[in-house]
Amino acid sequence: MRAIETFNRLDIRYLQRNNLLRPGRSFPLSWTRGGVEAGEIWVDVAWGYLVLSYWVTIGGESENVDEEIALDFTECTYGGERPWFLCPGCDRRVGILALAEKYFRCRHCYDLKYTSQFETDQDRASSKFWKLWDRLGEGKPKGMHWRTYERLLHKLAEADKRATELLI
């Protein structure tokens, strides 16, 4: 099994948050890993779809790929609309597409899992504990309500108990 986090990904939420989905816009997107560039694409936004232009290397041969990704929009409860990619491989409405091979597809098309799906029960319990520990630090964070702090302390104690039980 492969983890989706190990591949270059397009996230519709990032594009929306940064106001990049306006028709007529063109811009580059790049990824880095460990401070080193791990890929770059050019994005052209049209009405209802994106055109992606990028290079892939498969079997030592580089190839230029131009790919259209359809967009879909759903209405939000309190107004506005939420954008989605329509996966070219399966036509699912998704928020993230990954470049695991030659084309951008959803995680279902490439049979990709999230890293957390590979964790054991012990790993999950330990992750939960450390996430809460990091959030609370040495004491109640400034601005946090006491009621919230006490609830999180209780969750931290439960996570510690669970992680310890799974170790034994």
SS3 readout for 109-122 = CCCEECHHHHCCHH
Q: Which residues pair with 81 in a beta bridge?
A: 75
Percent of the chain residues past pLDDT 70, beyond the cut: 99
Give me the pLDDT at residue 73, please. Answer: 96
3-state secondary structure of 27: strand
- CA distances for 166 relative to 73, 77, 99, 118, 129, angstroms: 44, 42, 36, 17, 13
Check residues 121 and 73 and name the one with the higher pLDDT: 73
pLDDT higher than threshold 70 for residue 1: no
Indicate whether 53 and 9 sit together in one domain: yes
Residue 39's pLDDT band (boundaries 50, 70, 90)? confident
91 and 128 fall within a common domain: no
Mean pLDDT of the chain: 91
Q: Per the structure, how many domains does the chain have?
A: 2
Q: Which residue, of 74, 95, 115, is where some domain finishes?
A: 115
pTM of the model: 0.74
Which of 71, 93, 115 delimits the end of a domain? 115
Residues 126 and 106 in one domain: no
The pLDDT tens digits of the residues spanning 11-34 come to: 999 999 999 999 999 999 999 887
Q: Which domain holds residue 94?
A: 2-115
The answer to whether the beta carbons of residues 53 and 41 sit under 8 Å apart is: yes
Residues 57, 107: one domain?
yes
Per-residue pLDDT of 130-141, as tens digits, reads 899 998 888 898
